[in-house]
Amino acid sequence: MVFDGKAVAAKVLQTLAAENAKLKERYGRVPCLSVLLVGEDYGSTRYVASCEKNAQRAGLECKVVRMAETSSEEEVTEAIRRLNEDSSVDGILVQMPLPKHISQERIVETILPDKDVDGVTDRNVSQLWKQRRNDYSRFCVPCTPRSVMRILEESEIDLDGLNTVVIGRSNIVGMPVSKLLMNENATVTVCHSHTKDLAAIVREADVVVAAIGKAKFVGAEMVRNGAVVVDVGINVDETTGKMCGDVDTEAVKDRCKMITPVPGGVGQLTICSLMENTMDCFKRLHNG
């Protein structure tokens, strides 16, 4: 089965729109996401445009704060401080990458953890590593890992006891995904660029999550029959110039129980998770 991200995303956004309409009745306004975009990176600009479009579909407000590429770290910090204090803003997303002269690490820590919709601040990271079950209502987990879990849930994959392999150990994808899988009682192996005989490890997996950033890295010889494959990668296929994932979908799909395509898979649900996280921040901020 090839996962239909577009259809599932449409369903999620529709549910969110209904919930946000109820929040408006109760609190007089809908949740508001603020996206801070520094510079004009092509991928970031496209992602922010998609945030605006999908916020509208989810019945949320989305305010984009655009700053020049040449903005100083102090100016960006000051913009975040204003958003932290603005009671009409419930969620803050600082679009990465930031220009090289700005420290990503320092900037992230200036976001108020209660408004941190991508779960990147120290407080949210530490809560993720302490929690024993996945309860998204208590604090924000990063959007992409939340979307990976949503895809597995929508595909009715019972993770309990399954052998899962996550390829990639970044703070924003690989590591949080591994913790969320563990909380569902999966057995988790995390592979990375120093892993020996990676293909043999991946071949044993019931569920593979690929978050590497290398076009079509996972080929048919790495995937066993009946495996579930979630492809997080966003790359450009050098031969065709088209977007592709970390998995060679065409070579692998016939042997998979379920596979997510690129485009049309994880990315579709990641934007939904951003909207869900914004709504959850709103609810926490209003209920204390």
User: Where is 105: in which H helix or E strand?
Assistant: helix 104-108
172 binds ligand NAD (CB under 6 A): yes
What is the size of the binding site for ligand NAD (CB under 6 A)?
Answer: 24
Q: From edge to edge, which strands make up the β-sheet containing 61-67?
A: 61-67, 32-38, 91-94
Residue 193, amino acid: S
Report residue 160: phi and psi, to 5°.
-55, 115
Kindly state whether residue 243 participates in binding ligand NAD, applying the rule CB under 6 A: no
Q: Which of 110, 144, 178, 278 binds ligand NAD (CB under 6 A)?
A: 144
Give the relative orientation of helices 42-57 and 5-27 as an angle to the nearest 10 degrees.
60
Site residues (CB under 6 A) for ligand NAD, limited to 100-129:
none
The neighbouring-strand residues paired with 230 are 209
Residue 44 makes contact with ligand NAD by CB under 6 A: no
- Of the two residues 43 and 161, which places its CB atom closer to ligand NAD in the complex? 43
Q: Residue 284 Cβ, how far from ligand NAD at the closest point, in Å?
A: 23
DSSP state of 247: B
Give me the phi and psi of 143, to 5 degrees please.
Answer: -60, -45
φ, ψ for residue 76, nearest 5 deg: -70, -40
User: What minimum distance in Å lies between the beta carbon of 170 and ligand NAD?
Assistant: 3
Nearer to ligand NAD, 191 or 227 (CB): 191
Q: Per CB under 6 A, which region of 2-10, 98-106, 199-207, 227-235 contacts ligand NAD?
A: 227-235
The residue from 267, 276, 279, 280 that contacts ligand NAD (CB under 6 A) is 267
Q: E strands along the chain, which residues?
A: 32-38, 61-67, 91-94, 163-167, 187-191, 207-210, 227-231, 235-236, 243-244, 256-259
CB of 120 to ligand NAD, least distance (A): 12
Work out whether 270 is an interface residue with ligand NAD (CB under 6 A): yes
274 lines the binding site for ligand NAD (CB under 6 A):
no
Interface stretch with ligand NAD, choices 103-111, 187-195, 218-226, 252-260 (CB under 6 A) = 187-195
Phi, psi for residue 77 in degrees, rounded to 5: -60, -45
- Give me the least distance between CB of 247 and ligand NAD, in Å please: 11
190 binds ligand NAD (CB under 6 A): no
